[in-house]
Structure 1
Amino acid sequence: MKTDHLTHIPDPEGVHPAVPYTHVVTGTGRWVAVSGQIALDEQGQLVGPGDPLAQARRVFTNLGRCLAAAGAGFDDVVRLTYYMADIAHLKEVAVARNEVMDPARLPASSAFQVVSLVSPEFLMEIEADAIVPADRKLPGRG
Structure 2
Amino acid sequence: MIDTGPEIRYRNPPTIPTPAGYSQVVEATGGRTVYVSGQVALDAENRLVGEGDFAAQARQCFENVRRALADAGLGFGHVVKLGLYVTDVAHLATLRAVRDEFVDTARPPASTLVQVAALFRPECLVEVEAIAVGLVSPTNPNPASAPSGEGARS
- Matched residue, 1:6: 8
Please, which moves more after superposition, 86-95 or 132-141?
132-141
Determine the C-alpha separation between the residues in 2 that align with 1:5 and 1:135: 15
Question: Residues 139 and 120 of structure 1: is their aligned pair in 2 closer, same or farther, counting only changes over 3 Å?
Answer: farther
Give per-residue Cα distances to partners, 1:102-130, cap 9 Å, x unaligned.
21111001111111100110001110001
TM-score by length of 2: 0.83
Please, which moves more after superposition, 91-100 or 72-81?
91-100
Task: Give the conservation status (yes or no) of the 8 Å contact 2:81–2:130.
Answer: yes
Determine the C-alpha separation between the residues in 2 that align with 1:91 and 1:139: 39
Determine the C-alpha separation between the residues in 2 that align with 1:122 and 1:94: 18
Give the RMSD, CA atoms, in angstroms. Answer: 1.5
Q: How many residues are aligned here?
A: 137
Which one of 39, 42, 45 corresponds to residue 43 of structure 1? 45
Give the counterpart letter for 2:121 in structure 1. Answer: S
1:137: Cα distance to partner?
A: 3.4
Task: Give the conservation status (yes or no) of the 8 Å contact 1:5–1:133.
Answer: no
Which one of 26, 40, 56 corresponds to residue 58 of structure 2? 56
- Matched residue, 1:31: 33
Task: Give the conservation status (yes or no) of the 8 Å contact 2:72–2:138.
Answer: no
1:101: Cα distance to partner?
A: 1.3
1:44: Cα distance to partner?
A: 0.9
Give the counterpart letter for 1:76 in structure 2. Answer: H
1:138: Cα distance to partner?
A: 5.2
Give percent identity, aligned residues only. Answer: 44
Task: Give the conservation status (yes or no) of the 8 Å contact 1:69–1:138.
Answer: no
Structure 1 segments (4+ residues) deviating >6 Å: none
Determine the C-alpha separation between the residues in 2 that align with 1:108 and 1:134: 21
After superposition, residues 1-142 of structure 1 pair within 5 angstroms as 5-9=7-11, 11-28=12-29, 29-137=31-139, 139-140=141-142
SS state at 1:103 partner: coil
SS state at 2:92 partner: helix
Unaligned segments of structure 1, at least 5 residues? none
Task: Give the conservation status (yes or no) of the 8 Å contact 1:87–1:113.
Answer: yes
Determine the C-alpha separation between the residues in 2 that align with 1:131 and 1:103: 17
